[in-house]
A and B are shown apart, each in its own frame.
Chain A
């Protein structure tokens, strides 16, 4: 199929972002050689958990323009899928972990068919309602989910460094998957839908189908992150799905760079590490992140990665002029 080149998905731009993503992953890969503290390794592991969710949400919001407010809820659903299989059926993790992606993916498919006919604020509000209903159902189903006590999850590995690399591999796979999707016609269709839904439909793009597909994949990625996180924390609780967690994910993507491959990685690592450094100041950190989101959304639409790219371009142009 002869697909048109979309200006926002120029293959060289995407390739550059992939290289930068690989650079970030490479830096993460060598970090345990310098970071021996279990605590900081734990912080980086949770950062990577958020990076996976942020990447999943970015596929939907950044590339397809569908603003869902349920990424944390799907991560919670994934965590509970793994936990419930282990708790009620004593299923091993090699069954429970795939379920963390499959169940949220299927729920996302059904929900997507219903909500993706909506757009803008209506879509955001519907997904927000779904997220809150899902959290309350889990919270109140005490017999089944143990409610606010949370569910214990068996651990996958005993070693912290091994866990670190497991999350790193998972993050690399997610980045690879998203890159692969964006390189395919689907990637172009999604961006066409984001930029002009009516225009895309008039050119023969099956809008609802591709939006649903993006929603399904995004939900599955978020769910998988939740399942993996559950085995690390050994506990999943309804608080995983709090709207504040979704706020954190959105902050990560907006600050890092929405609609870019590397943005969610940079954003997640920076925001979560910063939130841990600012632990002692309490909830003020959320105000700081909210303020940063407003500033970035207003003045730096491409986030930190966009700022970096523009400064590199300026430097290259100046260098060329001098030459």
Chain B
């Protein structure tokens, strides 16, 4: 009888220990909603996924978070807002994720944050630039990525420094394109009041922009600005180049959509990309924390390509959630949100604290680092481009070159 009692007690202890171990090893589930099929940008979705995989492995190899491994559940939103809404709904209700991240298309983010707000689940916006996402003022939404106003102000600063007299912007007919073009106009009024600025809206699904490009042949502006995403941006660039509009000895070509680090950029534009001036969020020569360099190295080793901004933004998104859980010592949504609001975070791109200022800076990394650089050769890797400006480094317009007459 005593033996039986002992055996039962031992079994109970063994079972409870096993249960406790299992409980401790329960993964912390993070939801990622990205475009993995058209019409969404599969290129961007893949880059976000790559960055997330790298940092998740790094965290798990380092013992996980609160002694538990991170588990990522991916959902394909196809770049469609309704699919994004359903994806967020599934991740929260069915997969019981502690937070959602990965968003890289503003219209989808806007649909997803409604769900996150309803369920009070933290939402870390990876790469949705629309100011509206911040302006809504949802306490669950955090923005460590770029935002429209930041791009426009940076571009206006460069344009003012170049002292150009006339600028024509080609903007895609989306809220992003038109919004960005308008904000750029507002900044130019302040920073370069003598510059004549106008924008032309083009269909992002368009295949031929000759009617919009041809009028510039007779009276070329000093600068053409691109606020369009691929593939429309590639078509526009090729037609500007073929028609001899930009880039030329007279006309700068300035990209504000961050397309130079797309993996298929050079194979689509070739000569049309030479001399392009670009706004970017990453450059191999920009200052970066140790962890950022590590993530870049791992990516380069795995893929054989240079990393780009989305790899780092995605890595920061997951790292941010992990650090907030560590700080809160909890996976409860309210605790994670509180931690995110108050903590100072050092990620792969730098150190920052989220602003609580209402408007487009709400829960935003306000001083997100950006770069300006120029492509000077066809098929030029990012590391070989000429860095004109970076965080803590003033604009050096004297470094810029133009095609010969």
Contact = CB atoms under 8 A, between A and B. Distances in A.
Interface core residue of A40, A239, A282 (most chain B CB under 10 Å): A239
A279 B75 CA distance: 9
Nearest to B105: A148
A152 interface: yes
Interface string A28-45: 000000000111101000
A39 B76 contact: no
Contact of A37 (B76, B94, B176): B94
Contacts of B208: none
Contacts of B81: 150, 235, 237, 239
Contact of B111 (A37, A146, A150, A283): A150
B90 A39 contact: yes
A221 B173 CA distance: 31
B88 to A, nearest CB: 11
Contacts of B264: none
Interface core residue of A42, A149, A233 (most chain B CB under 10 Å): A149
Nearest to B133: A149
B73 to A, nearest CB: 11
B89 interface: yes
B283 interface: no
Contacts of B83: 239
30 contacts: A37-B94, A39-B89, A39-B90, A39-B94, A40-B94, A42-B93, A46-B86, A139-B173, A142-B173, A147-B174, A147-B175, A148-B107, A148-B174, A148-B175, A149-B106, A150-B81, A150-B107, A152-B110, A233-B82, A233-B114, A234-B114, A235-B81, A235-B111, A237-B82, A239-B82, A240-B82, A242-B80, A279-B90, A282-B36, A283-B37
Given A39-B94, A142-B175, A235 B110 contact: yes
B392 to A, nearest CB: 34
Contacts of B174: 142, 147-149
B150 interface: no
Interface string A267-307: 00000000010010011000000000000000000000000
Interface in B99-120: 106-107, 110-111, 114, 118
Nearest to A233: B85
Contacts of B76: 282
B90 A149 contact: no
Contacts of B86: 42, 46, 276
B132 interface: yes
A242 B80 CA distance: 10
A115 B121 CA distance: 48
Interface string A230-248: 0001110101101000000
Interface residues of B, number: 29
Interface in A207-259: 233-235, 237, 239-240, 242
Given A235-B111, A237-B81, A147 B132 contact: no
B259 interface: no
A140 interface: yes
B178 interface: yes
Interface string B123-144: 0000000101000000000000
Contacts of B93: 37-40, 42
Interface string A150-166: 10100000000000000
Contacts of A139: 173
Contact of B80 (A42, A234, A239, A282): A239
Contacts of B107: 148-150, 237
Contact of A282 (B37, B85, B111): B37
B173 A150 contact: no
Nearest to A152: B114
Interface residues of A, number: 26
B104 to A, nearest CB: 14
A155 to B, nearest CB: 8
A235 B114 contact: yes
A39 B115 CA distance: 11
A45 to B, nearest CB: 10
Nearest to B90: A39
Interface in B385-399: none
A142 B175 CA distance: 6
Q: Identify the 5 closest CB pairs spanning chains A and B, nearest first.
A: A39-B93, A149-B175, A237-B81, A39-B94, A38-B93
Given A142-B175, A148-B175, A283-B37, A42 B111 contact: no
Contacts of B36: 282
Contacts of B82: 233, 235, 237, 239-240
Contacts of A149: 106-107, 110, 130, 132, 174-175
Nearest to B87: A279
A238 to B, nearest CB: 9
A235 B175 contact: no
Interface string B198-225: 0000010000000000000000000000
Interface in B163-192: 173-176, 178
Contacts of A279: 75, 90
A235 B85 contact: yes
A242 B92 CA distance: 26
Interface string B223-258: 000000000000000000000000000000000000
Contacts of A147: 173-175, 178
Interface core residue of A38, A142, A150, A282 (most chain B CB under 10 Å): A150
A44 B89 CA distance: 13
Contacts of B130: 149
Contacts of B173: 139-140, 142, 147
